Structure 1
Amino acid sequence: MTDTVLTAVPAVPAQRSMYLLGGRRVQVRDLLEARLLRPGAKLRFVRRRVGDTYHAEVTEAGKVRLIPDGQEFQSPSRAAMVAAGMRAVDGWLAWTVVETGKPLDALRQDLLDRAVATATEEPGDETRELRVHERLREARRRADEQHPEEFSVRELLSLWGAKDRGDQITRIEADLANHGLITSPSFRKVTLDSTVRLIVSSGDADEASVAQVGAPAAAADESDAADDPIGLTVGNLPSALGGLKSVAPNATFEEAITKLLLNDFSQLAVLNGPRNLRGAITWKSIAHARHADPHAKLSDAIDPEAVDVRYDKELIDVLPDLQRNGFVFVRNEQNIVAGIVTTSDVVQAYGEMAMPFFQIGELDRSLRRIIARDVDLDQVGAVCNRRVRSFDELTMGEYQRVLADPGVWSSLGWPLDRATFIERLDEIRQIRNDVMHFNPDPPPAGTIEKLRKLNSLLRLYGEIA
Structure 2
Amino acid sequence: MSASGELDVAGLAGATLSRRQLLAHWNIQFRNHAAVSRVSLDLSNAGLTTVPDLAVGPIDGEIRVVRLADSDAGSVQGHPPGGATPDTHQAVDVEDLSHIVRDPLQPVDTGDTPDSGGSPDEAPGEDPVGLLPQTALRISVFSSAVGGAVSVMPDDTLPKAMSIMAERGFSQLPVLDGLGALQGVVTWASIAHMHATGREATVRNALTSEYHAVESTAYLLPVVPMIQAYGFVLVRSAAGSVTGIVTTADLADQFVAIARPFFVLGEIERRLRRCLSRVYGEDDVRQVHRDRRRRQVDQLMFGEYVRLLDDEERWKKLNWPGVDRGHFVGLLRRVKDVRNGVMHFNSGYPDDEATALLDRFVGILRGYDPDSTA
TM-score (norm 1): 0.59
Corresponding residue number in structure 2 for 1:383: 287
Are positions 1:172 and 2:39 aligned together?
yes
1:369 maps to amino acid: R
2:11 maps to amino acid: R
CA deviation vs aligned residue, 1:307-337 (integer Å, no higher than 9, x gap): 1111111112212211110111111121112
**Out of 349, 352, 355, which is 1:442 matched to?**
349
Query: Taking structure 1 as reference, are residues 179 and 213 closer, same or farther at Cα in structure 2, changes over 3 Å only?
Result: farther
1:383 maps to amino acid: Q
Are positions 1:396 and 2:302 aligned together?
yes
Which has the larger Rg?
Answer: 1
CA deviation vs aligned residue, 1:383-415 (integer Å, no higher than 9, x gap): 344476655444423432322231121232434
Which runs of 5 or more residues in structure 2 are unaligned? 84-95, 97-102, 107-133
Given that residues 231 and 440 in structure 1 are in contact (C-alpha distance below 8 angstroms), is that contact kept between their aligned partners in structure 2?
no
Distance 1:352 1:286 in 2: 34
Q: How well do the aligned residues superpose, as a CA RMSD in angstroms?
A: 3.7
1:49-60 to structure 2, matched below 5 A, reads: none
TM-superposed CA distance for 1:189, in Å, is: 4.8
Corresponding residue number in structure 2 for 1:183: 50
TM-superposed CA distance for 1:235, in Å, is: 2.5
**Out of 333, 337, 340, which is 1:426 matched to?**
333
Distance 1:206 1:399 in 2: 46
Query: Taking structure 1 as reference, are residues 366 and 210 closer, same or farther at Cα in structure 2, changes over 3 Å only?
Result: closer
Query: Taking structure 1 as reference, are residues 160 and 448 closer, same or farther at Cα in structure 2, changes over 3 Å only?
Result: farther
TM-superposed CA distance for 1:253, in Å, is: 1.7
Are positions 1:245 and 2:115 aligned together?
no
1:451 maps to amino acid: L
Are positions 1:337 and 2:242 aligned together?
yes
Distance 2:40 2:80 in 1: 15
Which runs of 5 or more residues in structure 1 are unaligned? 1-112, 118-130, 217-222
Corresponding residue number in structure 1 for 2:60: 193
Given that residues 231 and 314 in structure 1 are in contact (C-alpha distance below 8 angstroms), is that contact kept between their aligned partners in structure 2?
yes
**Out of 352, 355, 360, which is 1:453 matched to?**
360
1:65-464 to structure 2, matched below 5 A, reads: 134=6, 136-137=7-8, 140-141=10-11, 143=13, 149-158=15-24, 159-202=26-69, 208-209=75-76, 211=78, 231-274=136-179, 276-293=181-198, 295-373=200-278, 375-384=279-288, 385=290, 386=292, 391-411=297-317, 412-437=319-344, 441-444=348-351, 446-460=353-367
Q: Percent identity?
A: 32
Across the two proteins, how many residue pairs are aligned to each other?
Answer: 319
TM-superposed CA distance for 1:174, in Å, is: 0.7
Distance 1:460 1:380 in 2: 24
Question: Where in structure 1 do 4 or more consecutive aligned residues deviate above 6 Å?
Answer: 212-216, 223-226
Distance 1:169 1:213 in 2: 29
TM-superposed CA distance for 1:245, in Å, is: 1.4
SS of equivalent residue, structure 1 residue 371: helix
Query: Taking structure 1 as reference, are residues 341 and 390 closer, same or farther at Cα in structure 2, changes over 3 Å only?
Result: same
Given that residues 270 and 278 in structure 1 are in contact (C-alpha distance below 8 angstroms), is that contact kept between their aligned partners in structure 2?
yes
SS of equivalent residue, structure 2 residue 238: coil
Structure with a larger share of its residues in helix = 1
Distance 2:334 2:181 in 1: 49
Given that residues 164 and 441 in structure 1 are in contact (C-alpha distance below 8 angstroms), is that contact kept between their aligned partners in structure 2?
no
SS of equivalent residue, structure 2 residue 235: strand
CA deviation vs aligned residue, 1:230-250 (integer Å, no higher than 9, x gap): 522222321112111112223
Q: Which one is further off, 426-435 or 305-314?
A: 426-435
By relative contact order (CA 8 Å, sep 6+), the higher-ranking structure is 2
SS of equivalent residue, structure 2 residue 240: coil
TM-superposed CA distance for 1:186, in Å, is: 3.8
Distance 1:295 1:460 in 2: 66
